[in-house]
Amino acid sequence: MLYVIIVVVVLVALVGFVIVGFNKLRTTDIGAQEALGGIDVQLTRRADLIPNLVETVKGYASHESGVFEEVTKARAGVAAAAKGDDVPAKAAADQALSQALVKVNAVAEAYPDLKANVQFLDLQKQLAETENQISFARQYYNDAVATLNKLTQTIPWMLFTGIANVHKREFYDAPDGQDVAPTVKF
């Protein structure tokens, strides 16, 4: 009788441990997925602000069509990347849009009246706030991925990765060339 009780207690403890491990991995994976969604929200917000910025700048610099086309193309790339789960694609689209925005701001530098325009200044302020939120979202995602990756690669949690269908995720790394300022030619 004592043996039966011991076996039952051990089995209940083992089942409880498996449930805890499964839930811990799934919860952490869901947190990383939600954090990636936070990046998408901020990238989409920035992409939505850009048409207003471009239209404001166009009024002053209509002959700079190449810059505006590049911004439009980069914005479309961000929208497409936001629909998927490919983290490097999101980072590359983000980088392309950031470089296109640098070129728009360089165009604005050539027009003092534009730099004093209230709408332009407001849009720049909103973009700066969005950039800060994007930076925070990236860091939050990378922190969530670091936690998940630690779990998936350490004992005992790594024993449950197959059961929970949770695997190591990629960090949100800046694409190559992020540290080089884009060149602007008029």
The predicted pLDDT at position 83 comes to: 83
Residue 169 neighbours by CB under 8 Å, 6+ apart = 29, 32, 87, 145, 148, 149
SS3 170: coil
The predicted pLDDT at position 62 comes to: 64
Residue carrying structure tokens 């929208």: 79
Q: Per residue of the chain (186 residues), what is the pLDDT tens digit?
A: 889 999 999 999 999 999 999 999 999 999 999 999 999 999 888 888 888 887 777 776 666 677 778 888 888 888 888 888 888 888 888 888 888 888 877 777 777 777 777 887 888 888 889 889 999 999 999 999 999 999 999 999 888 898 889 999 999 986 665 544 444 443
* Burial category of 116 from C-beta neighbours within 10 Å (exposed 0-12, middle 13-18, buried 19 and up): exposed
CB 172 within 8 A of CB 141: yes
